[in-house]
A and B are shown apart, each in its own frame.
Chain A
Amino acid sequence: MKQLLEGSAAIAEMVKLCRVQVVSAYPITPQTHIVEQLARTISGGELQAEYVNVESEFSAASVVLGASAAGARAYTATTSQGLLLMAEVLFNMAGLRLPVVLTCANRGVSAPITIWNDHQDAMTVRDSGWLQLFAADNQEAVDLHLLAFRLAETLRLPVMVCVDGFILTHAWEPVNLPSQAAVDAFLAPSAPIALLDPARPATLGALAEPDSYMEHRNRLFEAVEGSMQTMERLQQDFERQFGRRHGPTAGYRVDDADVAVVAMGSLNGTIEEAVDSLRDDGQRVGSLKVVSFRPFPAAELRRDLGTVRRVVVLEKAVSMGSGGILSAEIRNALYELPSRPMVKSHVVGLGGRDVTVRDVREMVLSTREDAPLFFGLRQPTAVEVS
């Protein structure tokens, strides 16, 4: 049954249904509503779990690392500055192969400080070994959390579910929340392994000398890259049980398109509206949503974009000194095709700048190859100039 819920509340409810055993988090806008609801759920006795209030994100990440190593199903949420402060722990957690799930309520990074949405936070830790899934709406956000716990525990890899800050976390949408029985049928009620167990003493976090470090890193690389197969299998399971599917990519009116607009996260709702309006004008335009950024769906992109002439990437993060990050990876994937579409990148929506249907239409219709990377920059105001 559908319920009208705030995105954060829906996510917290799903995390509860996933029977997490340890939650540790540090407040940061716009993640707070998620963890505040979990705190209420636990103090109200609705969920038997430990809620650990810590003094920084560094400690939040470290607490869930320890809890997961001890065998508990562990969860945290953060964004922006908090995610960056966790960075050292995130790389460590992936290397230790701990199945933690983290919600990133995506937000831009400082300076200048912003509390509003873009993807710079998550993209900055893309090389850490975490799987990264981007939700386009709140149903997808909720479903991806359930999938994330199953993926994490199946693969023994940490999974980050990226949810656009405010745009999704604070939006009220009708969401289908599965029953506890349905969740239990998809996700075993407790985490499968305790690495730290006196019955089987094991050393975690050993020193690797030059003769073994590369092999360890290669094993992590293969695990993350190879996770696409597991993702495919679990997506099928999920679809069979719940009738919904979430990627790794999803096309919209793209099969016969000349131009494909590609993006991650909530931008896709706006893009699909723009596609409809462009189709009404007789343009052969479609779109493709990238749900899984890690593992990167290179084969899927070659399949989905192999026949279009032009790919327009709308991205909410930038690599300073290089350019768009998503577009660079898409170009990399498409390079293997015998005939390759043009790929044009537009950096949009940084720090919460609105992206409208009209903006998307303009980016699709403009064929200027030398258009500036940042779309829609404004002139300085009088106060700024003075």
Chain B
Amino acid sequence: MSTAVSPGHRACLGCGEVLGSRLALEAAGPNIIVANATGCLEVTTTSYPYSSWNMPWIHSLFENAPAVASGIEAGLKALGKAGIRVIAQGGDGATADIGLQSLSGMFERGHDVLYICYDNEAYMNTGVQRSGLTPSLASTTTTPTGTTSDGNRLPKKDMVAIALAHGVPYVATASVGYHKDLQKKVQRALTFKGPKYLQVHVPCPPGWGYSSSSTIDVAQKAVQCGLYPLVEFELGQMTSARKLNKRIPVDDYLRDQSRFRHLFTGAAARQGIEVIQAIADANVRRYGLA
């Protein structure tokens, strides 16, 4: 098989996550074992007796992919099997919420595992509920807009900082909108021994409410407005940050997505957008993206 993830799966048209995973695992090359958390990526690709995965691949539960990967790594070590790379992957909910404890343990123990988080910014598999990586003011089914709510009140959890605080030797963000950068980062990550954390922004047409032909465009806009900085840290030092060569206001990114529609209507309309613009501006300053 020439591709890491075979077609014929059940993901939606324009799914950023399955695309992101295919790109990442193809970059990783042969001789890998993958541990996958529960989520869209797993559900849409493994309807028994079929599977899209062309490598040894295991799904156990929603919250334990990092620990399962830790066990695979330990098992390979015990068996003296060298040269096989272990990759764990999951959605933003699996990573930042229910599996965070498991991920922290994997980081802390220093397992030689690349963990990839496919960040579509909500629990998509169960119908667009809020996760810790849902951005501020996005409407989800558990943070609906209403008389007492403007959508998600909480900020997006800073997983990069959390990984760095664990002393993880390679930490980076990427986007399906920039596939060469994504693949380069996977390959770079695998040159490090120990835990690696890569967070990939993967737009979701039904979850965000935009046309399924625009996934790449939406992903690029997220980067170009400063809301999704593409950064890279090696041994705790920032080694790259993608400059915003075509910087756009956040409006241009938010406007096409129904999860932000409420920010464009009503009396207090501009307020929410200003809050989000301030988040983008802070990212630009923090990582020197201008």
A interface residue numbers (CB < 8 A to B): 26-29, 32, 35-36, 39-40, 42-45, 51, 53, 55-56, 81, 85, 110-113, 381, 383-384
Contact yes or no, A36 B129, CB < 8 A: yes
Give the contacting residue for A53; candidates B127, B142, B146, B148; CB below 8 A. Answer: B142
Contact yes or no, B50 A56, CB < 8 A: no
Indicate whether A383 sits within 8 Å of B123 (C-beta atoms), given known contacts A32-B129, A53-B130, A55-B132.
no
Contact yes or no, B50 A36, CB < 8 A: no
B240 CB–A CB distance under 8 Å: no
Contact yes or no, B50 A43, CB < 8 A: no
Contacts of B136 in A (CB 8 A): none
Residues of chain B from 184 to 217 with CB closer than 8 A to chain A in the complex: none
Give the contacting residue for B148; candidates A27, A44, A112; CB below 8 A. Answer: A44
Interface string of B113-147 (1 = CB under 8 A from A): 00000000001011101101000000001111111
Contacts of B232 in A (CB 8 A): none
Contacts of B97 in A (CB 8 A): 55-56
SS class, residues of chain B in contact with chain A: loop
**Stretch from B59-67, B103-111, B172-180, B252-260 that touches the partner:** B59-67
Q: Which residue of B lies closest to A25 (CB)?
A: B142
Contact yes or no, B98 A56, CB < 8 A: yes
Contact yes or no, B147 A44, CB < 8 A: yes
Contact yes or no, B146 A45, CB < 8 A: yes
Give the contacting residue for A27; candidates B42, B142, B147, B149; CB below 8 A. Answer: B142
Contact yes or no, A35 B142, CB < 8 A: yes
Taking the closest CB of chain B, its distance from the CB of A12, in whole angstroms, is 13
Contacts of B62 in A (CB 8 A): 81
Contacts of B142 in A (CB 8 A): 27, 35-36, 39, 51, 53
Taking the closest CB of chain A, its distance from the CB of B125, in whole angstroms, is 8
Contact yes or no, A384 B49, CB < 8 A: yes
Which A-B residue pairs are the 4 nearest by beta carbons?
A43-B146, A55-B97, A43-B149, A44-B146
B100 CB–A CB distance under 8 Å: yes
Contact yes or no, A55 B98, CB < 8 A: yes
Taking the closest CB of chain A, its distance from the CB of B237, in whole angstroms, is 30
Contact yes or no, B141 A39, CB < 8 A: yes
Q: Which residue of A lies closest to B157 (CB)?
A: A55
Taking the closest CB of chain A, its distance from the CB of B210, in whole angstroms, is 21
Contacts of B59 in A (CB 8 A): 113
Indicate whether A27 sits within 8 Å of B145 (C-beta atoms), given known contacts A55-B98, A383-B49.
no
Indicate whether A39 sits within 8 Å of B38 (C-beta atoms), given known contacts A55-B98, A81-B62, A85-B63.
no
Contact yes or no, A39 B148, CB < 8 A: no
Q: Give me 10 A-to-B residue pairs in the complex whose CB atoms sit less than 8 angstroms apart, sorted by A's number.
A: A26-B98, A27-B127, A35-B142, A39-B143, A43-B147, A44-B146, A55-B97, A81-B62, A113-B38, A113-B43
Kindly state the separation between the CA atoms of A248 and B38 in the bound complex, as whole angstroms. Answer: 37
Contacts of B60 in A (CB 8 A): 111
Q: Which residue of B lies closest to A31 (CB)?
A: B126
Contacts of A32 in B (CB 8 A): 126-127, 129, 141
Kindly state the separation between the CA atoms of A384 and B61 in the bound complex, as whole angstroms. Answer: 23
Contacts of A29 in B (CB 8 A): 125-127
Taking the closest CB of chain A, its distance from the CB of B226, in whole angstroms, is 26
- Chain B CB within 10 Å — which of A26, A53, A81, A85 has the most? A53
Contacts of A81 in B (CB 8 A): 38, 61-62
Kindly state the separation between the CA atoms of A381 and B61 in the bound complex, as whole angstroms. Answer: 27
Indicate whether A43 sits within 8 Å of B98 (C-beta atoms), given known contacts A29-B126, A81-B62, A113-B59.
no
Contacts of B129 in A (CB 8 A): 27, 32, 36, 53
Kindly state the separation between the CA atoms of A292 and B182 in the bound complex, as whole angstroms. Answer: 55
Contacts of A40 in B (CB 8 A): 144, 146
Contact yes or no, A27 B126, CB < 8 A: yes
Give the contacting residue for B126; candidates A28, A55, A384; CB below 8 A. Answer: A28
Taking the closest CB of chain A, its distance from the CB of B147, in whole angstroms, is 4
Q: Which residue of A lies closest to B153 (CB)?
A: A53
Kindly state the separation between the CA atoms of A81 and B143 in the bound complex, as whole angstroms. Answer: 23
Taking the closest CB of chain B, its distance from the CB of A34, in whole angstroms, is 11
Contacts of B96 in A (CB 8 A): 55
Kindly state the separation between the CA atoms of A76 and B62 in the bound complex, as whole angstroms. Answer: 19
Contacts of B149 in A (CB 8 A): 43
Taking the closest CB of chain B, its distance from the CB of A278, in whole angstroms, is 35
Taking the closest CB of chain B, its distance from the CB of A209, in whole angstroms, is 31
Kindly state the separation between the CA atoms of A26 and B130 in the bound complex, as whole angstroms. Answer: 10
Taking the closest CB of chain A, its distance from the CB of B96, in whole angstroms, is 8
Kindly state the separation between the CA atoms of A85 and B63 in the bound complex, as whole angstroms. Answer: 10
Q: Which residue of B lies closest to A54 (CB)?
A: B97
Contacts of A56 in B (CB 8 A): 63, 97-98
Contact yes or no, A55 B144, CB < 8 A: no
Kindly state the separation between the CA atoms of A383 and B123 in the bound complex, as whole angstroms. Answer: 32
Kindly state the separation between the CA atoms of A7 and B244 in the bound complex, as whole angstroms. Answer: 49
Q: Which residue of A lies closest to B122 (CB)?
A: A27
Kindly state the separation between the CA atoms of A27 and B127 in the bound complex, as whole angstroms. Answer: 9
Kindly state the separation between the CA atoms of A13 and B115 in the bound complex, as whole angstroms. Answer: 41
Contacts of B132 in A (CB 8 A): 55
Kindly state the separation between the CA atoms of A384 and B132 in the bound complex, as whole angstroms. Answer: 39
Taking the closest CB of chain A, its distance from the CB of B91, in whole angstroms, is 12
Q: Which residue of A lies closest to B96 (CB)?
A: A55
What 11 additional pairs, Cβ within 8 angstroms, besides A39-B144, A55-B100?
A: A27-B142, A32-B127, A36-B129, A36-B141, A43-B146, A43-B149, A45-B146, A53-B129, A111-B60, A113-B43, A381-B49
